[in-house]
Structures are given as structure tokens and as C-alpha cells.
Chains A and B, each alone.
Chain A
Amino acid sequence: NAGVMQNPRHLVRRRGQEARLRCSPMKGHSHVYWYRQLPEEGLKFMVYLQKENIIDESGMPKERFSAEFPKEGPSILRIQQVVRGDSAAYFCASSPWSGPEEQFFGPGTRLTVL
């Protein structure tokens, strides 16, 4: 049973470009969470999704950021017109259902904006 997969592991973008980060949850998991870890800072919640639904996006910046988890395929975190401040590690985690369940983390995508 493969763990949570994220790709790419490293992504370099120039200012103004778009970044697309992908997360495939563990088999059987229908809940996905995205977290951001800025350099030298702790992890911060961004968004919580179930298949085809955004449950809680209260941690997402209001502009340029969006997330989806379609019926088929991975969850996508999309950052439009990236800026240097978007440089961070982005982690996704999955769980089989909601509530206080263990979350399994992916290896993260390290985004560098030049």
C-alpha cells in the first residue's frame, strides 16, 4: 500500500509563473489536507478537501491560491503568479475519514521562486 505521493518533489519557478503541486492520497483515503512550511517556520494549515468538495479553505491566501480534489486523479494545489514569498515546502496529508484520525503525510514539494 503506497503512502501519500507528492510531485514534483522540487519545483523551481520564476516570479509570475504558475506552480501546480500534486498530491495522491493513500489508497482508500478520501480526505486531503494541504499544509505550508515557510523557511524557519512551523507548519500552517491551508485547506481541507474531500473528493470534489472544499471543506475548509480558511488557511488559504485570498488571492492566487486554489485547490481541488477531483473525483478522479490527484489533489492539486495551484499557485498563480508566484512571488518570492511563496517559496516554501508544501505538504499534503490524507486520512480515511474526518474527525480526529491520524493523518499520513507526503514527502512534500519544495517550491523555490526565483
Chain B
Amino acid sequence: KNEVEQSPQNLTAQEGEFITINCSYSVGISALHWLQQHPGGGIVSLFMLSSGKKKHGRLIATINIQEKHSSLHITASHPRDSAVYICAVRSYNTDKLIFGTGTRLQVFP
């Protein structure tokens, strides 16, 4: 079993829909990252959080430390949001990033 699990693996949506991507982890962490990887392959850091909730534009990330779970929400989704979204946790013990396998999102107009 992977230490970081994401769901769903693939997600399609119509423009304007509300999107939720989930991440569960099984190790102790000092922080959790949400990353975006576009079809061209570049990786952009969206959020780093260790508690609570963060918001940036149409993106919202939440984390529940007790339940070892995080969610990434996209409000009013747009075709340009189409990308792979990756959850990564920073292991408290090893200080290394452990990555989920990503959620491939396609938003159609």
C-alpha cells in the first residue's frame, strides 16, 4: 500500500463544476504539498500546509491532521485547470517528500 493515496485517479468535469481531489497518507508528516503538473510537464507548487485551510483564487486546500487527509477543491473549474494534481507529504521522520501518483483532471468547455 502506498504511503500517499490520491483519489480519484482520473476526473473529468464540465466547465464551471466544483472539483474535489482527495489525498490520504499513512505516515507522520510535518507538511503537505499540493502540486500541479501541466501537459508540458512543468510542476508548480500550489499549496503547502500543515493545518487548517488555505485559499488562493479558485483553489482551496484543507488538511485534517487527525484523520491524515487533505482535499484540494477547485471552484468554477475552467479548461485551463486541466492538469495532473499531485499530493506530496513531507515525512516527519525522514524529512523527504513522498508523492502520490496524481489525479489527472480534464475540464471540458
Binding site for B on A (CB under 8 A): 33, 35, 41-45, 48, 56, 58-59, 89, 91, 93, 98-105, 107-108, 110
Contacts and interface: CB of A to CB of B under 8 A. Distances in A.
A107 B30 CA distance: 26
A91 B101 contact: no
A78 to B, nearest CB: 21
16 contacts: A35-B97, A35-B99, A42-B99, A43-B99, A48-B96, A56-B96, A93-B43, A98-B95, A99-B30, A100-B50, A100-B90, A102-B45, A105-B35, A105-B42, A108-B43, A110-B41
B86 interface: yes
Interface in B25-47: 30-31, 33, 35, 41-45
A42 B33 contact: no
B45 A103 contact: yes
Contact of A43 (B44, B48, B86): B86
Nearest to A40: B101
Interface residues of B, number: 23
B9 to A, nearest CB: 11
A105 B95 contact: no
A89 B43 CA distance: 11
A62 B43 CA distance: 27
A93 B45 CA distance: 10
Contact of B42 (A35, A56, A59, A108): A108
Contact of A56 (B43, B88, B95): B95
B56 to A, nearest CB: 12
A53 B13 CA distance: 46
A13 to B, nearest CB: 19
Interface in B76-109: 86, 88, 90, 94-102
Given A43-B88, A58-B94, A108-B43, 6 more contacts: A35-B99, A58-B96, A59-B96, A103-B33, A103-B45, A108-B42
A110 to B, nearest CB: 7
A45 B48 contact: no
Contacts of A42: 86, 99-102
